[in-house]
Amino acid sequence: MSDMTFDKMISQMTPEIYASLKQAVALRKWPDGRRLTPEQTELCLEAVMRFEVENNVPLDQRVGYLERRTCGADAAGTNVTPEMAGLARNAAE
pLDDT tens track for 64-80: 777 776 565 556 656 66
- 28 lies in some domain: yes
pLDDT at 90: 56
- 87 lies in some domain: no
- 73 lies in some domain: no
- 88 lies in some domain: no
**How sure is the predictor about 1, in pLDDT bands with cuts at 50, 70 and 90?**
very low
Number of domains in the chain: 1
Instruction: Give the burial class of 91: count Cβ atoms within 10 A of its Cβ; 0-12 exposed, 13-18 middle, 19 or more buried.
Output: exposed
pLDDT digits (tens, 9 = 90+) for 33-65: 999 999 999 999 999 999 999 998 888 888 877
How many angstroms from the chain centroid is the CA of residue 63? 1
**How sure is the predictor about 12, in pLDDT bands with cuts at 50, 70 and 90?**
very high
Yes or no: say if 51 and 18 are a contact pair by the CB < 8 Å rule. Answer: yes
Residue range(s) defining the domain that contains residue 40: 6-61
CA dist., res. 37 & res. 27, Å (int)? 12
- 39 lies in some domain: yes
- 81 lies in some domain: no
